């Protein structure tokens, strides 16, 4: 990994085996966009490392556009769902909303016993913005 602003974090992610093989499609250049299938691999690995449990792929995939094992695992774990009942759209660029949603689902699946995609509304996250702290001597 060459030096850069994210080199330490990328090296640490590689050390913890959070980087799926699909992310190596451009060698070690991680500056480009990530697609839904690639992020599914990252999300599954993040959940598995956090929980210490392996996610089994779904036995009956609803998706007609991919048979990728990481996609099947992410779907089985309720981390990432499809664009429709039958399409995952694996090569569409991941957007910020999808990334944030997947990361929130990883958190909820790990911390909330009984959480599933179907029961998500029963597990709200409450967030209170911290008070703004000004440097000493300013008002």
The structural domains of the chain, with segments of one domain joined by +, span 33-111
Q: Kindly report the backbone phi and psi dihedral angles of residue 93, in degrees, each rounded to the nearest multiple of 5, phi listed first.
A: -60, 130
Q: Kindly report the backbone phi and psi dihedral angles of residue 35, in degrees, each rounded to the nearest multiple of 5, phi listed first.
A: -95, 175
Share of the chain above pLDDT 90, in %: 62
Residue 135 pLDDT > 90: no
Give the model's confidence band at 1: pLDDT under 50 very low, under 70 low, under 90 confident, else very high: very low
Average pLDDT, the chain: 87
Distances (CA, A) of 132 to 28, 127, 128, 129: 39, 15, 12, 9
pLDDT at 2: 47
- Is the pTM higher than 0.85? The answer reads no
Structure tokens at 38: 């690639």
Residue 139 pLDDT > 70: no
pLDDT (average), residues 89-110: 95
pLDDT at 126: 85
Pairwise CA distance, residues 63 & 85, whole Å: 7
């Amino acid at each position: 990994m060459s030096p850069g602003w994210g080199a330490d974090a990328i090296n640490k992610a590689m050390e913890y085996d959070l980087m799926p093989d699909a992310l190596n499609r451009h060698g070690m250049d991680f500056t480009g966009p990530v697609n839904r299938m690639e992020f599914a691999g990252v999300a599954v690995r993040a959940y598995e490392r956090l929980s210490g449990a392996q996610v089994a792929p779904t036995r009956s995939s609803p998706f007609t556009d991919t048979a990728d094992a990481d996609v099947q695992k992410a779907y089985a774990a309720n981390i990432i769902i499809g664009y429709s009942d039958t399409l995952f759209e694996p090569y569409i660029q991941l957007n910020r909303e999808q990334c944030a949603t997947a990361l929130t689902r990883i958190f909820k699946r790990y911390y909330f016993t009984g959480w599933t995609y179907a029961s998500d509304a029963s597990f709200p996250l409450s967030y209170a913005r911290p008070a703004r702290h000004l440097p000493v001597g300013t008002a």
